[in-house]
A and B are shown apart, each in its own frame.
Chain A
Amino acid sequence: MPSPAIAVENLGKAYRLGLKEEIPDSLIGAATSWIRSPLSNFHRLRRLNTFNTRSDAEEDDVLWALRDVNFDVNEGEVVGIIGRNGAGKSTLLKILSRITSPTHGRAVIRGRVSSLLEVGTGFHPELSGRENVYMNGTILGMRKKEIDRKFDEIVDFSGVEKFLDTPVKRYSSGMKVRLAFAVAAHLEPEILIIDEVLAVGDAAFQKKCLGKMQNVAEGGRTVLFVSHNMAAVESLSGRGILLNAGTVVLTGDISDVIRRYRAIQPLGENDGVYLSSDGGPAGECAIVYAAAHSGDRFSSTGYAAGETLKFVVECTGADTIRDPQLGIGIDTIEGQRLVTLHSNLIDGCPGGNSLDSRVKWECTAKHLLLSPGEYYVVISLEDGSRPVERLSPAFRLTIHPSDAYRNGGKIGRGLVLCDQIWSRANSETSSKQL
């Protein structure tokens, strides 16, 4: 078995929290404190070097950003690193990019690495777009000849050809970011390390970027990237690594990793699903799961326009209330209510007291054809007409464009699509008949 492209063994990184207060940041301050108490200063200056800290040392002022991280990335794999803010993802990437050094452990990288930790590094506002392409490209590791070769492609990708020779300080922020990403997108290293730069620019450009990322991923390069965009992570990576508070929680198939990430997320506006983190308070009636399915399939990234949606909601503690009823409201992003689905509107849904604690509602929205876009789903659990729990919103629902009308993808404006039957006849003869 060939050696992995990236092998990380027991990597750890500690920061001294008190650094700013302890070490004086002025030469005069340092000089006076040096004169005042040589011994304590000697210790302080030695402690600046955290590289002698043992991994089990639990000193007060030491923050372990990463601790005993182990994983391997094989050649050609695309691995997504996910985790909450502060989990240590960026620190890990910084260490692998040699920007900062680890406190203990080691990493072995086989191959040339290009790191993209920020879009537009090295951009100088006084230089023109053309000059900044060269500047940025060289900083990212491309040779001048390489940039010359790819220059036209880069400019074409960014779409700022007209303004190439004006100083970058005159660009709009969108243009700056597009130019920067265009340079970055044309890197051709063996190993690519990317930190959350997929979410730049407007929607159209984001799509272009994701497409380019897909090319890179399929091109046989080893890619290690961090993103909060679960859809991108799911579609681009094969494997995932979940970091939490500096340690690796799970590595493996990307869908498993994302599911686990969702499970450790605090309550919030998740994509496509609501999961209660504590399984519902005991003795009370509460919603523990809410999601939109299409048939039996669940996707966190949304569904195609035209698919019939089935809403599945589970709750616990249903035996504690007299008459559990469920309302599902679909709102636009702006908050306008499109439609309300309610268990007491239509005959057929059993109501009244439930003997079981855990109850699951399924509601198929027949003939509801939402237009492509984003929607908020509001779930309301009621006891008869008295509200028990209201999740506003429970989750965000994404509807993707599709060829719903079977005409190549064309749809009209509006919040909904509609099954339409059209006919045309010669009206001259019919009016004669009247």
Chain B
Amino acid sequence: MKRRDFVGLTGLAAGALFLPSIPGFGLGNSVDPAQLLDQVDVAVKKRMADAALNAAKSAGASYADVRIGRYLNQGIFTREKQVQNIASTESYGIGVRVIANGTWGFAATNDVSEAGAAKAAQTAVGIAKANSKVQKEKVQLAPQKGFGEVSWKTPIQQNAFEVPIAQKVELLLAANAKALDNGASFVNSALFQVNEQKYFASTDGSYIDQDVHRIYPTFGVTVVDRASGKFRSRQSLSSPMGLGYEYLTPKAADKVAGPAGSDVTGYKMSYDILEDAAAAAKQAKQKITAKSVVPGKYDLVLDPHHLGLTIHESVGHPLELDRVLGYEANYAGTSFATLDKWKSGNFQYGSKQVNIVADKLQPGSLGAVGYDDEGVKTKEWDLIKQGILVNYEKIRDQAQIVGQNESDGCCYSQSWQDVQFQRMPNVSLRPGQAKLSVDELVKNVDKGIYIAGNGSFSIDQQRYNFQFGGQVFYAIEKGKIAGMLEDVAYQANTQEFWNSCAATCDASDYRFAGFFNDGKGQPSQSSAVSHGSATTRFNGVNVINTARKIG
């Protein structure tokens, strides 16, 4: 009840009032960091998986899948010149999902043994049979061939868990020092590292061993002006990525400059935390005295770090088929993108420039895996083509509802102990075909605002009306950046907004924004997802001024 349905970890502001001390993040037990490098023999996992599948079949299941998962996390937290916390955690167990009497059942255990796996399978069948009494329609799974024994690993260059903690602490403290040297009053920084060692097996004949890695360096800088009592923050422009520690070795080729005069740098497949921390402090300081925006209609030029969140909220969520069907009505909500709009074949979600694609493949993205959590090989598919809504995001038991016979491969569970369900894949805006740089895009804007970095965000439960802030805002006057603005937020209707999309830069500007903690379901589960885009222009969007006076 008190959960956020989408929690950005960028809000590492300050004191964290009433936050209990964090013995670990995630669900696991604290462990010695050395334990994070262990692997479990795949033959042992196969024996346990077979024990579960056989037990499920003997108990009367018509289908079963088993996930044996080791979920490893490390978080390092600092502020200014000190380390606040270092936590290494492991969560290891087995989850078994079955269909019996046409009904789903699920059970999980941390008894990681053949006997434990078999017992969980039997429990799951018992639950399925009990639930079948209130079931109205039998579960129908899209067909899926077995892949035999296969494996997949995130293509990383360096496992972040292999890097000594002292080296990682040193980097965060160096970033803090850069921020303090450049005028920050306060700085919090953190490094999150994740490794999911997942073994999936099903009665379809798949035995899939996957080793998934993610990393997320981030910080928040605050500048306080005691004389005026004003304070302003700027969060990191990093993104959580499906990469190893190589993300923290900056390469010149991965840096993308914002429009001339903006002092913004975006990052592709590697991130320069020292450079960004220095820029953040300078920009937070500028924000204190920046001009307060005059509300009205502006042409917006949105950088990919910012636009990724807008895509996430206004395209990624409304096209989740379980929301469209009403399964999330009591929590995350439903969707304006109803089946009749999709069936019409002419629902103009956006302008002709808008081509939005879903995938679980893009290297470096958070969604990239070889197979999803129900053994479906991952792929890419169109959601919006030249502005028209053409498809949804769906899994095996949903495909038949929309007359399709194939899952999209976007089933995911946050751990072995939660049941897998439909989650958002990567959802990305295709870059423009024609060559177009950010400066060329800005050149034609008469009265506009350039926004970089994602900030405050809010959208209604059917995804019509949204309001977004950002990290830094620059006025565009007669085709040129004309100084920083403050107190900016824009409000729009999803369909109107995407139909106001006028142009998007070419592939040379394309990069990811990612999110580590997208929440859905009751009990709530978290998933990680990336959104690729290039800097994009939207015409005539309503901008409000958010400044108020209190006490």
Q: Do A and B bind each other?
A: no
A residues near B (Cβ < 8 Å) are: none
B residues near A (Cβ < 8 Å) are: none
